[in-house]
Amino acid sequence: MPVIECVTVELNPGITIEDASRQQANAISTHVDKAAGLISVSWGFHKENPRRNTWFLTWESVAHHITYTQSPSYPPFLASISTFCTPLGFYHVPLTPDPSTLLATAPVVELFTATLEDATDKEEWVNGLAELMKVGEETLPKEGVYGFAHGWSVEQERRFVLLAGWESREVHEAWERGLTGEQRERGLGPLGRGVKGVELVHVDLREGSGKWGA
């Protein structure tokens, strides 16, 4: 089953977004795009903090990515990106449904992660996602929404990951503001309970972004 490698980086001091966009595209086209098992790459800057950037690399399997990290191409790739950014972390996640169309077409991707407390039952917690989908069916606009995909991190089995495609961050925020108190509690409330922490960012796949194979 394909997996998404989510990598977040921060631009080094003195590096502009324009510089980073150009160097990032060059690093991927020079060192990564011929890697065996790599299906596609999408990347973009965070709307909340444009100094941060997330890459979504789709691999045929985790094993294909690991094989690449052991190849002669990997050290030059690390050296090339170190000139403009510092990796903050990465993880692999198999997502359902298939997120390829979402990543190829959505202008903005909401990246939501939640790490469950040790005592929280995963199956019981994820039932809250079903309620969110029900609220979405009742309230989401007919345009400006590009789909959803979710799954559990391979490395951190209690980290839940949700991708949502939007026309813009403003469309997402307008939808949330339009929810009634009951809809908000029913759809969003359960996702914030029984967790150690949550994070939500909007990755802009338009300005300064790039796609390969998508």
Please give the pLDDT value at position 130.
87
Q: Is the confidence at residue 9, as pLDDT, over 60?
A: yes
Same CATH topology for 3-94 and 101-204? yes
pTM as predicted:
0.93
- Lowest-pLDDT range of 4-8, 185-189, 207-211: 207-211
Residues in Cβ contact with 153 at an 8 Å cutoff, skipping those fewer than 6 apart:
91, 92, 93, 159, 160, 161
Render pLDDT for 138-148 as a digit per residue (tens, 0 to 9). 999 989 999 99
Reduced to 3 states, what is the DSSP secondary structure of residue 130? helix
Mean pLDDT over 57-68 rounds to 97
- Over residues 38-52, the pLDDT tens digits come to 999 999 999 999 999
> 159-166 and 210-212: which strand pairing?
unpaired
User: Smallest Cα–Cα separation from 90: which of 43, 135, 40, 153?
Assistant: 153
CATH of 3-94, one of 3.40.30.10, 3.30.70.100, 3.40.50.800, 3.30.428.10: 3.30.70.100
Nearest to 203 by CA among 103, 118, 111: 111
How high is the pLDDT of residue 139? 95
